[in-house]
Amino acid sequence: MSTSTGGWHADEDLLSRYVRGDAGPVAAASLEQHLLRCASCRDRIAAHVPVPLLDAAWERVRDEAVAGRPRRLERLLVRLGVPAPDALLVATAPSLRTSWLVGLVVTLVFVGLGAAYGGDRGLTFFLLVAPLVPVAGVAFAYGPDADPSHEAALATPYPATRLLLLRTAAVLAASLPPVLLAALLVPALSWTAVAWLLPALSLTAALLAASTWVRPTVTAAALGAGWTAAVTSASRAADPTAVLAPALLVAYAVLGCLALLVLALRSRSLTTLGSPS
Amino acid sequence: MTVVPTVALTGVTKRFRGTAALDDVHLTLGPGITGLLGPNGAGKTTLLRITATVLTPGAGEVVLFGTRPAGPEQLAAVRRRLGYLPQEMGHPRGFTGFGFVDYMAVLKEWTDRAARHAEVRRVLELVDLDGVAARRVSALSGGQRRRLGLAQALLGDPDLLLLDEPTTGVDPGQRVTLRQVLSRAGERSTVLLSTHQTEDVAALCDRVVVLDGGRVRFDGAVADLVATAAGRVWLADAPDPAARASWRTGTGRHRVVGQAAPAGAEPAEPTLEDAYLLLLGERARTTGVAA
């Protein structure tokens, strides 16, 4: 590469305008060509570069590199208007990771197909699984089993109830639509294709209330066992949809409201470890 | 002017299934580093958890910064001023070292991204992890993960630092680095350091509390605890089965800690470990103190 500059050097005004981005495309391109050959002008232009701004830009680049790429859900939540700090906290939940959600969709495809072509047994299987999907998701979104840093997180000022509710909302938003789609594959459900939502929400509320006493995973296991017993029993009596009888739907709604009330009254318990470990 | 202590525990008791993990503990802490020693199961972790407000006492009163953290607002106000490293510190999957501390900083209300990242860089440099900040936590060594836990506890220069075995798995060189960090923190903050490492307490702390069976067995200056072993430690040519403890040292002579001097023994300078062994007797020997 030639180092000849023909005796010409850029003046201070041009260097300053170039750094500010005000030099115009022709002068900027010409100067860039010149800078490649002229060490003197490269030295002089350094004095025009705002160092703090450059440092700040470098730090941002470095932080992005070391922080790791934000999760897909985190980026989506930010695009939907959720504040970035909340999006980060929500997306950390294991049951909101891509692998969990992909597993959920695959499961629901099988459950839906089974319900569509498997007669009463398939329908029973769908009613067993559908309301428990959000319960499992919430159980693995909060608490010591979902977050290995739970104890350290408890000692921070971030409100535990807010974190629990944010993650619950995200789990419901992520898990209910695929279950609803799977429900469309179940002709035997007719109008009750959405009725299972009520026990699903009621069981989720019960899980939240119980998490003020015991670990969410323990409660989820107990609720799952109870719901399985109810559906199996109804199925043996020839009508699995009996668990969605109108009287029971009212009972689910009442239970859900009571559970939310318990959660509100006992939310203080979420701020401490529930049991020795 | 009355100085409000950082920590004031009065008659604190905690039982798990009928067994007292803490039994009528009274403890007042102010700025400086206090070491918390005791055998496994002595109640150290329970004491730290209660002080960190993550566990409620069964009985007694906990006052932090002059406030009883009863309601949500008082609790949040207290938690804004404390840093806590639990005994078992896991990390959510998928984070880099920087990402994990950043996550904890969000929980500590650092909402401004630029300020938060600057603070995360600061604490990572303090614990000498800035060079591996881009690595996944799962790829870090046990000692590095422990230092990462300490880094999150140091976020925001807390007024109260509660550390449950911070030097576990940390190599000797890094332990010296951590001692420098903690000694600086102790100049302005109240630091309660639970450990099995008596040499960490001897090197760092001006005060030591010994717990045993949930009760405070000693609370005073480190030098005062060491002084209780004066005249009860010897170097002998043979082991002494009657002593509280005796072992062969690297010089070939036997260090004897007990009540009576073995024949031909010469007095030795007592250490904090000797005093601890004498204070707790058989319990210290069976549960062990890492030398």
B contact residues 10-29, partner A, Cβ 8 Å cutoff: 16, 21
pLDDT category of residue B186 using cuts at 50, 70 and 90: very high
Asked whether A98 and A72 are in contact (CB, 8 A), the reply is yes
Q: Is residue B110 part of a domain?
A: no
Query: Would you tell me how many other CB atoms lie within 10 Å of the CB of residue B9?
Result: 22
A108 min Cα distance to partner chain B (Å) = 25
Q: Is residue B275 part of a domain?
A: yes
Asked whether A148 and B92 are in contact (CB, 8 A), the reply is yes
Minimum-distance CB partner of A65 among B52, B79, B134: B134
- Among A53-57, B19-23, B86-90, B228-232, which is the least confidently predicted range? A53-57
- Do β-strands B245-248 and B59-64 pair in parallel, antiparallel, or remain unpaired? unpaired
pLDDT (mean) for B166-193: 91
pLDDT category of residue B182 using cuts at 50, 70 and 90: very high
**Adjacent-strand bridge partners of B85:** B163
Three-class SS of residue B163? strand
Residue spans of chain A under pLDDT 50: 1-2, 275-277
Q: Is residue B243 part of a domain?
A: yes
Interface residue B156 vs chain A (CB under 8 A): no
Q: A147, B55: Cβ pair inside 8 Å?
A: no
Cα B140 from Cα B123, distance rounded (Å): 17
Q: Which residues of A are less than 8 Å from B129 in CB distance?
A: none
Phi, psi of B189 (to 5 degrees): -110, 170
Q: B94, A97: Cβ pair inside 8 Å?
A: yes
Find, among A127, A170, A147, the residue nearest to A216 by Cα: A147
Cα A238 from Cα A240, distance rounded (Å): 7
Predicted local confidence at residue A187, as pLDDT: 63
- Among A42-56, B43-57, B159-173, which is the least confidently predicted range? A42-56
Minimum-distance CB partner of A67 among B80, B90, B99: B99
Predicted local confidence at residue A57, as pLDDT: 79
Interface residue B111 vs chain A (CB under 8 A): yes
Minimum-distance CB partner of A158 among B16, B89, B109: B109
Q: What are the tens digits of pLDDT across the range B63-121?
A: 999 999 988 899 999 999 999 999 988 888 888 999 999 999 999 999 998 899 999 99
Interface residue A155 vs chain B (CB under 8 A): yes
Q: Assess whether pLDDT exceeds 70 at residue B284.
A: no
Q: Is residue B113 part of a domain?
A: no
CA-nearest residue to A71 within chain B is B94
pTM (two decimals): 0.84
Q: Into how many domains does chain B fold?
A: 1
CA-nearest residue to B70 within chain A is A268
Q: What are the tens digits of pLDDT across the range B114-153?
A: 899 999 999 999 999 998 998 999 999 999 999 999 999 9
A contact residues 210-269, partner B, Cβ 8 Å cutoff: 268
Q: Which residues of A are less than 8 Å from B118 in CB distance?
A: 59
Interface residue A89 vs chain B (CB under 8 A): yes
B60: left (phi over 0), alpha (psi -120 to 50) or beta: left
Q: Is residue B161 part of a domain?
A: no
Interface predicted TM-score (ipTM): 0.90
Q: B106, A158: Cβ pair inside 8 Å?
A: yes
Minimum-distance CB partner of A272 among B54, B77, B149: B54
Q: For chain B, what percentages of helix, strand and coil (3-state, to nearest 5) are there?
A: 35, 25, 35
Predicted local confidence at residue B290, as pLDDT: 39
Find, among A189, A195, A207, the residue nearest to A111 by Cα: A189
A93 min Cα distance to partner chain B (Å) = 8
Encode chain A in three state secondary structure. Answer: CCCCCCCCCCCHHHHHHHHHCCCCHHHHHHHHHHHHHCHHHHHHHHCCCCHHHHHHHHHHHHHHHHHCCCCHHHHHHHHCCCCHHHHHHHHCCHHHCHHHHHHHHHHHHHHHHHHHHCHHHHHHHHHHHCCHHHHHHHHCCCCCCCCCCHHHHHCCCCCHHHHHHHHHHHHHHHHHHHHHHHHCCCHHHHHHHCCCHHHHHHHHHHHHHHCCCCCHHHHHHHHHHHHHHHHHHHHHCCCHHHHHCHHHHHHHHHHHHHHHHHHHHCHHHHHCCCCCC
pLDDT (mean) for B266-275: 93
Q: Assess whether pLDDT exceeds 60 at residue B289.
A: no
Interface residue B1 vs chain A (CB under 8 A): no
Interface residue A204 vs chain B (CB under 8 A): no
Q: Is residue B246 part of a domain?
A: yes
Using CB atoms within 10 Å of the CB of residue A84, give its burial: 0 to 12 exposed, 13 to 18 middle, 19+ buried.
Answer: middle
Interface residue B146 vs chain A (CB under 8 A): no
Chain CA centroid to CA A82, Å: 11
Predicted local confidence at residue B60, as pLDDT: 96
Q: Is residue B192 part of a domain?
A: no
CA-nearest residue to B156 within chain A is A156
Cα A94 from Cα B269, distance rounded (Å): 54
Encode B17-46 in three state secondary structure. Answer: CCEEEEEEEEEEECCEEEEEECCCCCCHHH
Q: Which residues of A are less than 8 Å from B92 in CB distance?
A: 92, 94, 147-149
Cα A87 from Cα B113, distance rounded (Å): 13
Q: A89, B103: Cβ pair inside 8 Å?
A: yes
Q: Is residue B36 part of a domain?
A: no
pLDDT (mean) for B177-196: 94
Predicted local confidence at residue A2, as pLDDT: 43
pLDDT (mean) for B203-208: 94
CA-nearest residue to A143 within chain B is B92
Range of the domain at B236: 225-287
- Do β-strands B233-236 and B266-267 pair in parallel, antiparallel, or remain unpaired? antiparallel
B17 min Cα distance to partner chain A (Å) = 10
Interface test with B, best of A149, A270, A275 (most B CBs within 10 A): A149
Q: A56, B114: Cβ pair inside 8 Å?
A: yes
Interface residue A149 vs chain B (CB under 8 A): yes
pLDDT (mean) for B196-201: 91
Interface residue A154 vs chain B (CB under 8 A): yes
